[in-house]
Amino acid sequence: MKCRHCHALLTQRFVDLGNAPPSNAYLSEQDLQKPETYYPLRVLVCGECHLVQTEDYVAEDTVFDADYAYFSSTSRSWLAHAKSYCDQVTERFGLAANSFVIEVASNDGYLLRNFVERGIPCLGIEPTASTAAAAEAIGVPTLSAFFGSDLAARLIREGRQADLIVGNNVFAHVPDINDFTTGLARALKPHGVITLEFPHLMRLVEFSQFDTIYHEHFSYLSLMVVARIFAQAGLRIFDVEELPTHGGSLRIYGCHSRASHIETPAVNAILAEETRRGMATGAYYEGFQAKAEAVKNGLIEFLLKAKREGRSVAGYGAAAKGNTLLNYAGIKPDLLPFICDAATAKIGKFMPGSHIPILDPATLESRRPDYLIILPWNIAEEVQAQNAHLAAKGTRFVVAVPELTILKATTNAS
């Protein structure tokens, strides 16, 4: 395989998580009687540009299909994050009724609805029919399509270049990252702004977050690599923020290379930190396999010990990262009988690969497990707060990443 960005031959392995079905391919009861497709889940490192990327096996339209079950609005904390962002950029860049905002991978309208409420014209671009329909239903104009240079050319012909292009957790999801970035440049007005959020590879390595690796994530990104990809498309990064979301993310601010936006010191500060840690060397990426195995073993040991002791265990959050972890560890319903999730699109279905049933969170009140494993550890505090009544009756909350930890009760739960 050749690098998605610079086309150098890929020879260095980052991590091998075995074989698994796509992480968002949730199953109906009827699907359990049919064969299930598994793909290798291996990640490689480019020795030239250091882009970390999944080995090519799965097509984009296989993981982002009409039945895609991830709806951003399910998480209250994510809705608050989106609103805060919209308030911030509206003020910073003077967005108003004469502006135009595009969000790529706009999901169910969770973010753009804030611009709709402000009377700022906007357009969502979302390839999955299920979430695009949900966005339209709340008044967010949405084009159901994959974004790239061809679609950007169409927007230009229609006179719809943007003052702001937003892309939250999409840059890592595109197989042709060069074409996607060219599309961003084409769809942007001469002095417009692009903001992208993505999990920071530096934090993924630091905190053993291998469960954020799945087939719909084609790339794992550092600032130095994104700066290089942007430069090839005639773009530059003029500001960057470190965010706590998804275990540690970056929000970058980009513009055309000749635009007037002034670069902040934050850009060089993070580039310097990445260099200090050795992210431009092959040695940095060695040893991550052992970190993944340690997390896997810790979870297996915990579940086996709980079963021997006769303690009940359930999961919370049928998230893609949970599917990666469960399938890599080989966990089945004998060790984790059920998982609860607030998303109605997932309730009544089964986790891909493990076939663990997904139930309504109300189930927890009657079954009251001794331990509740929070699979989306990035929103553990939110889940604890929502289920404080369980803690008051003896349930203990657990996360498996970066290591198996029984969490302390929150103030709300005490």
125 in any annotated domain: no
Residue 230 has pLDDT above 70, yes or no: yes
pLDDT (0 to 100) of residue 338: 98
In terms of pLDDT, which residue wins out, 224 or 378? Answer: 224
Q: Are residue 249 and residue 311 in the same domain, yes or no?
A: no
42 closest CA partner among 62, 15, 20: 15
The last residue of one of the domains, among 255, 285, 315, is 285
79 in any annotated domain: no
Domain that holds residue 209: 146-285
Residue 61 has pLDDT above 60, yes or no: no
Residue 67 has pLDDT above 80, yes or no: no
Q: Are residue 218 and residue 341 in the same domain, yes or no?
A: no
Per-residue pLDDT band at 413 (split at 50, 70, 90): very low
Residue 270 has pLDDT above 50, yes or no: yes
CATH of the domain at 235: 3.40.50.150
pLDDT (0 to 100) of residue 71: 65
The last residue of one of the domains, among 285, 310, 332, is 285
Average pLDDT score, the chain: 93
pLDDT (0 to 100) of residue 73: 66
In terms of pLDDT, which residue wins out, 5 or 61? Answer: 5
pLDDT (0 to 100) of residue 337: 98
**Tens digit of pLDDT for each residue in 165-222?**
999 999 999 999 999 999 999 999 999 999 999 999 999 999 999 999 998 899 999 9
Contact 102, 187 (CB under 8 A): yes
Q: Are residue 267 and residue 364 in the same domain, yes or no?
A: no
CA 227 – CA 333 distance, rounded (Å): 44
2 in any annotated domain: no
pLDDT (0 to 100) of residue 216: 85
User: Based on the structure, what is the number of domains in the chain?
Assistant: 2
Q: Is the pTM value of this prediction over 0.85?
A: yes
330 in any annotated domain: yes
Residue with tokens 């004469």: 98
Q: Are residue 281 and residue 155 in the same domain, yes or no?
A: yes
- In the numeric block, which tokens belong to residue 134? 């949900």
Q: Are residue 300 and residue 322 in the same domain, yes or no?
A: yes
21 in any annotated domain: no
Residue 42 has pLDDT above 90, yes or no: yes
Q: Are residue 176 and residue 265 in the same domain, yes or no?
A: yes
Strands 101-104 and 162-168: parallel
398 in any annotated domain: yes
**Tens digit of pLDDT for each residue in 371-401?**
999 999 999 999 999 999 999 999 999 999 9
Least confident of 55-69, 165-179, 185-199, 296-310: 55-69
Q: Are residue 275 and residue 351 in the same domain, yes or no?
A: no
Residue with tokens 């934050």: 266
Q: Are residue 234 and residue 330 in the same domain, yes or no?
A: no
pLDDT (0 to 100) of residue 130: 86
Residue 65 has pLDDT above 60, yes or no: no
Query: Cα–Cα–Cα angle for 206, 64, 120, nearest 5°?
Result: 85
274 closest CA partner among 236, 238, 321, 242: 242
Per-residue pLDDT band at 414 (split at 50, 70, 90): very low
Q: Are residue 246 and residue 292 in the same domain, yes or no?
A: no
Q: Are residue 312 and residue 201 in the same domain, yes or no?
A: no
pLDDT (0 to 100) of residue 70: 58
Q: Are residue 265 and residue 314 in the same domain, yes or no?
A: no
The amino acid present at 379, given as its one-letter code, is I
353: left (phi over 0), alpha (psi -120 to 50) or beta: left
Q: Average pLDDT for residues 49-64, to the nearest whole number?
A: 75
Q: Are residue 152 and residue 281 in the same domain, yes or no?
A: yes
CATH of the domain at 342: 3.40.50.720
**Tens digit of pLDDT for each residue in 323-361?**
999 999 999 999 999 999 998 989 999 999 999 999 999
Per-residue pLDDT band at 24 (split at 50, 70, 90): confident
154 in any annotated domain: yes
The last residue of one of the domains, among 265, 285, 305, is 285
Strands 405-406 and 219-220: unpaired
Per-residue pLDDT band at 115 (split at 50, 70, 90): very high
